[in-house]
Chains A and B, each alone.
Chain A
Amino acid sequence: MKSFPDMRNDELAYKLAVPARDAGAVRFSTDALSMTRGHVGIVPIHEIQDSATVLMSVVQSMQICLRINQITRGQIACHLMLKTMFVIDAINLVDGIYGEPVGASSKRSTSFLTILERGNFGGAASLRQSLIEADLPAIRAVRMIRNKACAHLDSALTLRQLQSLVLDLDDAVILDRVVNPTTAALEQACAEDMATRWLLMDEPSLAGIKLVASPGVRSFDRDKQADSGA
Chain B
Amino acid sequence: MELAVLVDKAAYAVRMMRLARWISVHLTDDYERRVVGRVVLVFAPIYIDSAFALLKKKSGLAEQDRRHLRDGIRQLRDDFEEFFSRIRHDLAAHRDAVALDVAIEAWNEIDSDTLAWFCAAVDESIDDIIGRHPQVPDR
* A and B bind: yes
Residues of chain A whose beta carbon lies under 8 Å from any beta carbon of chain B: 1-4, 6-7, 13, 16-20, 23, 32-33, 35-37, 43-44, 47, 50-51, 54-55, 57-58, 61, 64-65, 67-68, 72, 77-78, 80-81, 84-85, 88-89, 92, 95-96, 108-110, 150-153, 155-156, 158-159, 162, 214, 216-222, 228
How many B residues face the partner with a CB closer than 8 A?
Answer: 56
Query: Contact partner of B95 among A47, A58, A222, CB < 8 A?
Result: A58
Closest 4 CB pairs of A and B: A16-B26, A37-B31, A50-B97, A220-B30
Stretch at the interface among B5-13, B58-66, B69-77, B78-86: B5-13
Report A-chain residues with C-beta under 8 Å of the C-beta of B97.
32, 47, 50-51, 54, 109-110
Number of A-B residue pairs with CB-CB distance less than 8 Å in the complex they form: 155
Which chain B residues border A222 with CB–CB below 8 Å? 111-113
Partner of A1, one of B30, B94, B107, B138: B138
Chain B residues, CB < 8 A from A47: 97
CB nearest to A150 among chain B residues: B42
Docked complex: B112-139 residues within 8 A CB-CB of A: 112-113, 123, 126-127, 130, 138-139
Chain B residues near A78: list those with CB within 8 A: 19, 23
How many angstroms from the CA of A184 to the CA of B23 in the assembled complex?
30
Does B94 lie within 8 Å of A108, measured CB to CB?
yes
- CA A67 – CA B35 in complex, angstroms? 12
Task: Please tell me if the beta carbons of A4 and B15 are within 8 angstroms of each other in the complex.
Answer: yes
Question: Which residues of chain A come closer than 8 Å to B138, judged between CB atoms?
Answer: 1
> Is the CB–CB distance between A85 and B38 below 8 Å?
yes
* B contact set with A: CB distance below 8 Å: 1, 5, 8-9, 11-16, 18-20, 22-24, 26-39, 42, 46, 49-50, 53, 92-97, 100, 103-104, 107-108, 110-113, 123, 126-127, 130, 138-139
> In the complex where A33-B107, A35-B104 touch, is A159 in contact with B28 (Cβ < 8 A)?
no
Cβ–Cβ contact B139 & A88, under 8 A: no
Would you give 11 A-B contacts (Cβ < 8 Å), ordered by A?
A3-B18, A4-B15, A23-B28, A23-B29, A32-B100, A33-B31, A80-B16, A85-B42, A151-B46, A153-B50, A162-B12
Which of B14, B23, B100 is close to A44, meaning CB atoms less than 8 Å apart?
Answer: B100
Instruction: Give every chain B residue within 8 A of A64 (Cβ-Cβ).
Output: 31-32, 35-36
Q: A17 to B26, Cβ gap below 8 A?
A: yes
Report Cα–Cα, A36/B107, bound state, in Å: 8
| B95 cross-chain contacts in A, Cβ below 8 A | 54-55, 57-58, 89, 92, 96
A17-B26, A54-B97, A57-B95 known; A36-B31 Cβ under 8 A: yes
Residues of chain A within 8 A (CB-CB) of B27 are 16-17, 68
* Residues on the A chain within 8 Å of B139, using CB: 1-2
Q: Given A37-B31, A153-B46, answer yes or no on A1-B19 (Cβ-Cβ < 8 Å).
A: no
